[in-house]
Amino acid sequence: MNRFRMLFDKKKPAQETVKVEATVIHEATMKLKGNTIEKMVVPEPGKTILQHAKDHEIDWQHMCKRGTCARCRCQVLEGAEFLEEPTEAEHKRLDPEEFDEGFRLGCQALVKTSGIISARNKTYF
C-alpha cells in the first residue's frame, strides 16, 4: 500500500453515541386547509372553523357568515367529535349525504372542546 493511501485509509476512532429521548407533547391542534394556504393552529372552544381560518389568515372562502351561501363549506376530515352538533342553518343548507361525508359549514361549525381537528375548505364551485 502506498504512503498516501495509508494516511487516508486509517480507521477513524468511533464516535461516541449519545442517546436522546424525545418528549412528544400531544397538544390539541387544528389543521386548516384553505384554497392555497394550510396551517396548524390551536383550536379555541367557542370559535367557528371560519373564525379560526380568518384569525390565522387562511384563504377560506366565505360571504354571508349566516349559513346560507355555503361558500365556507368544508369537509371535516378528523375531529368532528370536538365540534358542536350541526346547526339548523346547516340542516337547511346541506344534504344528509353531505353530513355523512363529513361536510359542515365553516361559519356554523363551532369548536366545542380542544382536540385534534382537520378540515379543508371545499366549496361547491
What pLDDT is recorded for position 5?
54
Positions of the chain with pLDDT lower than 70, given as ranges: 1-26
What pLDDT is recorded for position 20?
44
What pLDDT is recorded for position 15?
54
Tell me the pTM: 0.78
* Exposure string over 86-110, b if 16+ CB within 10 A, otherwise e: bbebbeebbeeebeeebbbbbbbbb
pLDDT single digits (tens) 27-61: 789 999 999 999 999 999 999 999 999 999 999 99
Residue 28 in grid coordinates: 390539541
